[in-house]
Each structure stands twice: as structure tokens, then as C-alpha cells.
Amino acid sequence: MVSFEKFQDMMEEILQTFPEEFFRELNGGVFARRHPKYHPEGINHDLFIMGEYCVQHHLGRFIVIYYGSFMQVYGYLSEEELAKQLRRVLLHEFRHHLESLAGEYDLEIEDAIEIAKYRERKKQ
């Protein structure tokens, strides 16, 4: 299992590879939280939120990555494979950010469809 500090270092390394334009108006930056975050639609805590793009009146725009969620879901992976998953989630959250700036919400719709599929699977 990767330590929280190592996870943060991995995240910083990945973020340094992203174009500067990705960070436009992301005034709160990107940071990791130690705890897992469970999705409210989850059943028996089986659905984790890996990251969130947030827009708040007083705090501005920022991205939160949940180390605890990564460890619950991907804790068994090698550092290299974990970094790939972290990069995938970061790109997902940056897409939310960039779409928000453009007034687009396609990814929010895609996310809602995935949650609906999850609910259907749980009914079976």
C-alpha cells in the first residue's frame, strides 16, 4: 500500500504533466484528503468517490482526490498501476472543470448514466 505522502508526490508528478490551461480559474488547486468518501447512492458502502470537482461561492473552484477511496479500491495495485488510475481520475475531474468553464455538462450526464447503471445492477 502506498503511503499518503507518496500518493501526494505521485499526484504532484502527474499534475506537472498537464497543460497550464487546465489550471485556469482553478483557484483552490488540487489536493488530496486522507479519508475515503462514499457515494450517497452506494449500497453498504460499496461505491466510492475517487475525486470531486467543486465550485463553492467562498472557496472557488478546486479538485479533491480521496486517498482513502483509492486505497479501498486500488490499494493492491503496484505504484505504476496506481499512478495510471490516479491520472485517469485527475483527467476526469479536470474535464469537469473545463466543461464547467465552457458552460457544458456532458460529463455530469455521463456520470449520472453510470450511477443509473449501478442502481440497475444492484436491483438484480
| pLDDT score at 118 | 92
Q: Which H or E run includes 87?
A: helix 79-102
- Mean pLDDT across the stretch 79-99? 98
Our count of domains for the chain comes to 1
List, for residues 20-41, the tens digit of each pLDDT value.
Answer: 999 999 999 999 999 999 999 9
Read off the pTM.
0.94
Number of C-alpha atoms within 13 angstroms, CB side, residue 14? 22
pLDDT at 44: 87
Percent of the chain clearing pLDDT 90 (strictly above): 90
Rg (CA), the chain: 15
CATH of the domain at 110: 3.30.2010.20
Decide if pLDDT at 124 tops 80.
Answer: no
Grid cell, residue 114, equals 453510470
* Residue range(s) defining the domain that contains residue 46: 4-123
Q: In the numeric block, which cell numbers belong to residue 64?
A: 479533491
Q: Residue 48 and residue 68: Cα distance in Å, rounded?
A: 9
Predicted pLDDT of residue 32: 99
